[in-house]
A and B are shown apart, each in its own frame.
Chain A
Amino acid sequence: MISLIKPIIPELTLATGICLMVLVNALIQHPHKRTSQILAVMTLVVSIAAALPLLNQNTEIYFNGQFIIDPLAIGLKISSYVAVLLVILSTTINEKINQSEVLLIELFATLGISIICSAANLLTIYLGLETLALSLYGLVATNKNSIESTEAAMKFFILGAIASAIFLYGISLIYGIYGTLDIHLLSIMIISDTLELKIAVGFILCGIAFKFGAIPFHSWVPDTYQGAATPVALFLSTAPKIAAFALFYRLLIDAFSSISETWTIMVYALGILSLIIGNLIAISQTNFKRLLGYSAIGHIGFIFLGISIGTQEGLESSLFYVLIYVLMTMVAFMVIEILSSEHHEVKSLKDLKDLNSSHPWFSLIMLIAMCSMIGVPPFAGFYAKWSVLSSLIEANMVITAIIAILMTVIAAFYYLRVIWFIYFEKTDKENKKLESTILQKTVVSFTGIIILLIGLYPKPVLDFCRQIISSNLLLD
């Protein structure tokens, strides 16, 4: 019995935690306001603990080819659990958004991510994808009293539904051609490139690009980042990106690696477009959350470029970039979250004016996050950019590397603008005390310092990425 459920213990833990939260919220009349948070944190901690022993296990497929356990799956799961854990720890507890609902849905989304990471069948992938997507639509809409939030949720839902449909259509085409949805079988059966296959892969890629928010499937990103409540935007910009990478890997590398010429060019085009357009539009933004949305598109360009190389180094560097990006954007949103109070949400860059006088420590953390996003050493973001550039140059794509680096310089401008609002602008506003708890402050400080520490000693994270990518590729 134990051996039967052993591979899905992390998922089972999550599911149990979710049920428990539902029950507690339904049965207890006036629960303590932290009950949900404690439950969620405990669930995640147990899940991480359950997933860790699986990390060294050999690749195996369970449940009639539906579910795969390999280092990549477990590695990504653990990363996303940790990310969600940090997000939940830093979420503000107040009356504005329904705490228990948000945390519950976030756990649901985590379950979806978990399923995507371990999917060995296209249908399982779709199952995970929809679990994740439906939770995210709900999350964005939680800020019920805000028109912006409702609008963002509506847009997100409609576009997301279309993207899911296109994705599903791609899958059905694959089924029509090969008569199977099993990823392992597909990778054996696909040898030559046909037009039908190209179309199917193109459709599937559209779905993934939508999840990542790559141009031209990006229009939901700035709106949802801006419209969603900050804790939700924080969630949205972190763990789902890890899921999107898993999606990429499971589909393009595991299933379609033999026709990589077809999809690398598509990924490359998406990457270059996102890099250029995302960064250019970000320059003129004044809303900080929207700016982060466009900056996300720019970063995704880098991630796509790494994947489009199609080599092991390229994948490693992309995975590394994803992890570092998640960390950086998390810090940026967490600082906003901390500075916002129940009545005043930090939205525009103007709200950050002269932050250095009132909260020097959080200014410094923001400085670290922004410099890291620019790619200035000694912060983690530099290594992310450098590793992608390295793999580009190794693959003889020097021109692409130069374009990427020029866009980095352009991007530097709007990140610098954030810093200059924080440090150089003066304001008459009086010094407000923060409403956030010590726990939140600790989590933000911890995450910010991690960016610096990875910058000083990136080896463990680089090793981690290399280990989980290379152990998977060796199988093929």
Chain B
Amino acid sequence: MLSIIIFTPILVAIGVALMGDKREGPTYWLSLLSSIFVFALALFMGINFDPSQSQFQFVEQFNWINQFNIQYHLGIDGISYPLVLLTSLLTPIVIVTSRTSPKRKYHQYLASFLIMEGLMIGVFSALDGFLFYIFWESMLIPMFIIIGLWGGKDRVYATVKFFLYTFLGSVFMLIALIYLYFKTGGYSISDFHSVPLSMREQLLIFLAFLFAFAVKVPMWPVHTWLPDAHVEAPTGGSVILAAVLLKMGGYGFLRFSLPIAPDASAYLANFMIALSLIAIIYIGLVAISQTDMKKLIAYSSISHMGFVTLGIFVFYNLGIQSASPETMSLAITGSMIQMISHGLISAALFLCVGVIYDRLHTRLISDYQGVVNSMPKFATLMVFFALANAAIPGTSGFVGEFTVIMASFKINLWIALFAAITLIIGAVYSLWLIKRVIFGEPLNERISGMQEMTMIEALPLATLALLVLTLGLWPAPLVEIMSMSIENLVNHITFSKL
């Protein structure tokens, strides 16, 4: 089942790439249908998913490279399933919206996104460290092409920076994985979890993984590739980058760093919390001063991802068993909800920017004013997403941030206070963006002459809005899916490995 979900898009991508750029219609429909098929499969998997089990489900396991004990081992649990679903949801959306703006080499564009989809789902479902690394790294190639081929003016700079940053981060992870292989005699992640390691080993392994995941999240101060990559990437690229790629870092912390090196995580927790708070507050302030809409959203992404890392590490504030299991579950649940919610909201915001960019071909905030006059429906949606970005109650953004802040309150008042500042900062940059772009008198005739959204543009945004609202008002189903796996994780990471 998981293999089908991973390899359908990749195989279709090969077919699409071979069809050539003469046949835009068929390639589009083929890609769209296959991605919807994958989404349907993922949903179907969700129906059969048993949330009362903490074990991995839909497991597939074969020997792949015997002499190194490398296995083709896939499976999902409550932590990875929501991310798989998110990925399979966003790919059809990206494909639908790609239709609105003409692209050269359209078939390659579609193929790149389909390959990305397969690889991303592979990352979330790999249970073998080696397989995980293969999916994780392979993804650089299509993303490199997406930003470089269909990006903006400085696309080459941005894409090379993106590639080198992430490559540099992940090669350290490779060394850590190889080291763990010699420790356990295999690459199985569950073996990694149970292997005893000395503090020194844990620290080094933790740092190696930190390089890889911190670059992906991205955490301050290794975040600088993200604004460049986001600004230059085509709309679809930004959407996938913000919504899924960044989540891999958070997922990596939960799947690798915490369970493999719990003592090192506890030891370095305050360092991680500090980095997260810097990201939340300082990057939030940076976001306020941006003049480019995409850059603003990119910085706000970094700031929001700070909540994810905060939630993952905050309960280690005073040591490995400082917090009660309930608080730990709460914090991690908050992080997970924040990841999903940020995936939806940032994707939607980038799509919004894409919609108006296709009309005026500028991303500068100062080039817009009074969009509401010509595009009232669009304005409604964009305002809604901006509010969600500012974590207004009733939207999913609120649930995630509020849960993390609540957990922090139980642990350390000061951390919670600092984190809560973001509720103000987030409101400032989100609302100010809206004020300048959406409201007011139309700046010029080009703005007053803007066409209202077409059906193709509106549909994805409306879907996302619905999901953001549902998740904001009724997050219980999501929490239920995750709860057992998180509980299992929490039980594991409170035990010292020393």
**Chain A residues proximal to chain B, CB less than 8 Å:** 356-357, 360, 364, 367, 371, 374, 376-378, 382, 386, 389-390, 393-394, 398, 401-402, 405-406, 408-409, 412-413, 416, 419-420, 423-424, 457-459, 462-463, 466
Contacts and interface: CB of A to CB of B under 8 A. Distances in A.
A459 B66 contact: yes
A431 to B, nearest CB: 14
Contacts, number: 86
Given A390-B181, A413-B160, A459-B64, A405 B141 contact: no
B171 A377 contact: no
Contact of B168 (A378, A382, A390, A409): A409
Contact of A376 (B141, B156, B164, B175): B141
A367 B141 contact: yes
A313 to B, nearest CB: 10
B37 interface: no
Contact of A389 (B138, B140, B178): B178
Enumerate the 9 nearest inter-chain pairs by beta-carbon distance, A residue then B residue, closest first: A377-B134, A405-B171, A424-B148, A409-B168, A393-B178, A377-B137, A459-B65, A390-B178, A377-B138
B175 A401 contact: yes
B482 to A, nearest CB: 30
A423 B175 contact: no
A463 B67 contact: yes
Contacts of A389: 174-175, 178
Contact of B164 (A386, A412, A419, A457): A412
User: DSSP class of A's interface residues: helix, strand, loop or mixed?
Assistant: helix
B16 to A, nearest CB: 12
B175 A402 contact: yes
Contacts of B178: 386, 389-390, 393, 401
A420 B148 contact: yes
A260 B167 CA distance: 35
Given A420-B148, A466-B67, 4 more contacts: A398-B175, A413-B164, A420-B156, A463-B67
Interface in B61-88: 64-68
A185 B148 CA distance: 60
Contact of A423 (B67, B145, B168, B179): B145
Contacts of A393: 175, 178-179, 182
Contacts of B156: 420, 424
B105 interface: yes
A197 B463 CA distance: 77
30 contacts: A367-B141, A371-B141, A377-B133, A377-B134, A377-B138, A382-B134, A390-B68, A390-B178, A390-B181, A393-B175, A393-B179, A393-B182, A398-B175, A401-B175, A405-B171, A405-B174, A408-B171, A409-B167, A409-B171, A412-B167, A413-B160, A413-B164, A423-B148, A424-B149, A424-B155, A424-B156, A459-B66, A459-B67, A462-B68, A466-B67
B230 to A, nearest CB: 18
Contacts of A413: 160, 164
Contacts of A378: 134, 138
B172 interface: yes
A412 B163 contact: yes
A428 to B, nearest CB: 15
B225 interface: no
A459 B72 CA distance: 13
Contacts of B164: 409, 412-413, 416
B192 to A, nearest CB: 15
B144 A416 contact: yes
A420 B108 CA distance: 15
Interface string B126-140: 000000011001101
A394 B181 CA distance: 10
Contact of B175 (A374, A405, A424): A405
A466 B67 CA distance: 9
Contacts of A420: 148, 156, 159-160
Nearest to A425: B156
Nearest to B182: A394
B59 to A, nearest CB: 21
Interface string B321-362: 000000000000000000000000000000000000000000
Interface string B147-178: 01100000110011001100110011011001
Nearest to B21: A360
A419 B174 contact: no
A390 B130 CA distance: 12
A16 to B, nearest CB: 39
Interface string B92-132: 00000000000001001000000000000000000000000
A419 B66 CA distance: 34
A272 to B, nearest CB: 17
A390 B69 CA distance: 13
A136 B171 CA distance: 38
A382 B105 CA distance: 29
A380 B211 CA distance: 25
A371 B142 CA distance: 11
Nearest to A390: B178
A401 to B, nearest CB: 6
Contacts of B182: 393-394
A377 B167 CA distance: 11
Contacts of B149: 356, 423-424
Contacts of A356: 105, 108, 149
A376 B105 CA distance: 24
A260 B64 CA distance: 34
Interface in B174-193: 174-175, 178-179, 181-182
A416 B145 CA distance: 10
Most buried by A among B159, B168, B171: B171
Which of B108, B145, B159, B174 has the most C-beta atoms of chain A within 10 angstroms of its own C-beta? Answer: B174
A377 B179 CA distance: 19
Nearest to A368: B141
A454 B149 CA distance: 28
A391 to B, nearest CB: 10
Nearest to A364: B17
B137 to A, nearest CB: 5
A355 to B, nearest CB: 12
Nearest to A426: B104
Contacts of B160: 413, 416, 420
Given A389-B174, A424-B155, A419 B144 contact: yes
A122 to B, nearest CB: 34
A465 to B, nearest CB: 10
Interface string B4-24: 000000000000010000000
A462 B67 contact: yes
Contact of B174 (A386, A394, A416): A386
Nearest to A423: B149
Contact of B65 (A371, A409, A458): A458
Contacts of B67: 459, 462-463, 466
Contact of B163 (A377, A390, A416): A416
Contacts of A466: 67
A357 to B, nearest CB: 8
Nearest to A408: B171
Given A405-B174, A420-B160, A462 B138 contact: no
B137 A376 contact: yes
A378 B171 CA distance: 14
Contacts of A357: 105
A48 B118 CA distance: 40
A420 B144 CA distance: 9
Interface string B478-496: 0000000000000000000
Nearest to B169: A409
A394 B137 CA distance: 23
A360, A377, A406, A420 — most chain B CB neighbours (10 Å) = A377
A336 B410 CA distance: 64
A133 B492 CA distance: 62
A180 to B, nearest CB: 38
B185 to A, nearest CB: 12
Nearest to A385: B174
A390 B185 CA distance: 12
